[in-house]
């Protein structure tokens, strides 16, 4: 593979942009807070992005999800990089691939609690492009002016990891000359109470892979990266998408395969596509949700596939599990280790699950990495692994 990452930025409860995220990771400053989502009294912790509330000028595109996408696109140099690509290629030769789990269901929830006297949607909520599973890509195309092909992927928690694989294929087949990939998901009552009905939420800050973990925390985030064929942009950030793996267990709607067969396949596919052995990987950002089953199965796979020289961590203790935006958020954290030379620790880890044995610790580790990997495993067994390398 020869795909360059030429720009990226992240927006979550841990930081509204990459600079703030780096500082939060550096200083072990979590963005999790006691649940204060309006309309919910659930006893849990969430990763809410308070700055979304100020984005109220989207008119017919207004939704909490679109507001977070807009906030994310305003961070760093994303808009400037896109402007340069539009000048170089034109708007029709740039693609958009977005991942999301909820799209704008937050807006639909509000619409149906505020019907008019005849039980119909009020004019402000008559938004056919918002009450739509494809809303994230439709909105990003509108916001950026990009006119190339667009796609929205919803494979639960692997959604915005799979955007990299799709974007790479589009570039390899010459469908486009650059791709804006991203993910956005926001907190809403359907998601929060849905996960509560599955008895997956913790009343405490999450503790991935800890012996005493008791559930997950949900969060919201948006993130974006810009991909281009290798060697076509002299201003890249020195990072390549070296490999990816995709699989589907289809074992159970919400429980991973007991032996992690699909998860194993996605990791080995990524290694094979990159032409690397497992011992070449310096760091793996784990899916690590803090649920009993997911962490146990993923942890056993890691100890089976990778040597102790491969350092691992879960970073969900900083912003929670951001569902359809988890893939892009953790891909950005992972690839950024190639620039910062700092591997983030696993926040809130005190005692590793006694059934597990692999290299994971709460503290950060200073290390110059060459090859790094991130896992995203979704409901229904939708798995994706991404592998990033320093450009030679």
Catalytic choice (157, 188, 312, 384):
157
- The pLDDT of 111-120, averaged and rounded, is 94
pLDDT at 251 over 70: yes
Token duo for residue 289: 């949700």
User: Is residue 268 within a helix (H) or strand (E), and if so which, with residue range?
Assistant: helix 261-274
Catalytic choice (321, 369, 371, 384):
321
Is 321 a catalytic site residue?
yes
User: Is residue 296 within a helix (H) or strand (E), and if so which, with residue range?
Assistant: helix 292-305
Name the one residue in this structure whose structure tokens are 């290299």. 359
pLDDT per position as a tens digit, 332-378: 999 999 999 999 999 999 999 999 999 999 999 999 999 999 999 98
pLDDT at 36 over 90: yes
- The pLDDT of 284-306, averaged and rounded, is 95
Can you give the pLDDT at residue 4? 96
pLDDT at 17 over 70: yes
pLDDT per position as a tens digit, 264-273: 999 999 999 9
Q: Which residues pair with 383 in a beta bridge?
A: 247, 377
The candidate with the shortest Cα–Cα distance to 316, out of 357, 266, 247, 374, is 374
Structural contact between residues 353 and 296, judged by C-beta atoms closer than 8 angstroms: yes
Round to whole Å and give the CA distance between 12 and 16.
Answer: 6
pLDDT bin (cut points 50, 70, 90) of residue 253 is confident
The Cβ-side half-sphere exposure at 4, using a 13 Å CA radius, reads: 17
pTM: 0.96
Please name the residues in contact with 45: beta carbons below 8 A apart, sequence gap of 6 or more: 32, 33, 34, 35, 202, 203, 204, 205, 206, 217, 320
The Cβ-side half-sphere exposure at 201, using a 13 Å CA radius, reads: 19
Please name the residues in contact with 277: beta carbons below 8 A apart, sequence gap of 6 or more: 271
pLDDT bin (cut points 50, 70, 90) of residue 234 is low
Token duo for residue 105: 């269901």
Can you give the pLDDT at residue 235? 62
- The pLDDT of 77-81, averaged and rounded, is 97
Q: In what order do the strands lie in the sheet with 218-219?
A: 33-34, 45-47, 218-219
pLDDT at 257 over 90: no
pLDDT, the chain, mean: 95
Q: At the top level of CATH, which class does the domain 3-390 belong to?
A: alpha beta
pLDDT bin (cut points 50, 70, 90) of residue 115 is very high
Catalytic choice (11, 131, 257, 287):
287
If you write DSSP's letter for every residue of 76-98 in order, what string do you get? TTHHHHHHHHHHHH-GGGEEEEE
Share of the chain above pLDDT 70, in %: 99
Can you give the pLDDT at residue 137? 98
- The pLDDT of 377-390, averaged and rounded, is 92
Round to whole Å and give the CA distance between 383 and 369.
Answer: 24
The candidate with the shortest Cα–Cα distance to 217, out of 358, 14, 380, is 14
Can you give the pLDDT at residue 134? 97
pLDDT at 79 over 90: yes
The candidate with the shortest Cα–Cα distance to 111, out of 63, 68, 66, 67, is 63
> Helices 18-26 and 326-340 sit at what angle, rounded to 10 degrees?
70
Can you give the pLDDT at residue 136? 97
pLDDT bin (cut points 50, 70, 90) of residue 259 is confident
Is 287 a catalytic site residue?
yes
């Amino acid at each position: 593979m020869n795909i360059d990452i030429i720009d990226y930025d992240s927006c979550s409860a841990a930081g509204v942009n990459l600079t703030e995220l780096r500082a939060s990771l550096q200083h072990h400053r979590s963005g999790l807070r006691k649940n204060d989502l309006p309309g919910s009294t659930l006893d849990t912790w969430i990763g809410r992005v308070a700055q979304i509330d100020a984005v109220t000028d989207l008119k017919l595109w207004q939704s909490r999800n679109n507001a977070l996408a807009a906030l994310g696109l305003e961070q760093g140099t994303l808009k400037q990089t896109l402007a340069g690509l539009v000048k170089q290629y034109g708007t029709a030769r740039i693609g958009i691939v977005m991942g999301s789990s909820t799209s704008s269901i937050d807006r639909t929830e509000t619409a149906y609690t505020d019907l008019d006297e005849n039980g119909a949607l009020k004019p402000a909520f008559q938004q056919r492009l918002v009450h739509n599973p494809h809303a994230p890509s439709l909105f990003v195309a509108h916001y950026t002016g990009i006119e190339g092909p667009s796609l929205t992927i919803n494979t639960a928690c692997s959604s915005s990891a799979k955007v990299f694989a799709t974007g790479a294929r589009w570039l390899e087949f010459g469908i486009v000359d650059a791709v804006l990939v991203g993910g956005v998901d926001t907190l809403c009552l359907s998601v929060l109470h849905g996960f509560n009905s599955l008895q997956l939420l913790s009343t405490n800050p999450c503790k991935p892979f800890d012996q005493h973990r008791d559930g997950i925390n949900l969060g919201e985030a948006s993130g974006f990266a810009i991909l281009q064929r290798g060697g076509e942009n002299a201003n890249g950030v020195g990072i390549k998408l070296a490999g990816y793996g995709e699989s589907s267990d289809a074992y159970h709607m919400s429980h991973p395969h007991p032996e992690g067969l699909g998860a194993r396949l996605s990791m080995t596919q990524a290694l094979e596509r990159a032409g690397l052995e497992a011992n070449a990987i310096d760091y793996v950002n784990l899916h690590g949700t803090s649920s009993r089953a997911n962490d146990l199965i993923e942890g056993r796979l890691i100890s089976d596939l990778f040597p102790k020289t491969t350092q691992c961590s879960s970073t969900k203790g900083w912003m929670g599990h951001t569902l359809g935006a988890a893939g892009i958020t953790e891909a950005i954290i992972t690839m950024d280790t190639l620039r910062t030379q700092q591997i983030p620790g696993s926040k809130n880890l005190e005692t590793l699950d006694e059934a597990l044995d692999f290299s994971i610790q709460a503290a950060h580790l200073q290390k110059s990495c060459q090859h790094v990997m991130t896992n995203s495993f979704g409901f229904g067994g939708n798995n994706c692994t991404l592998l990033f390398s320093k450009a030679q």
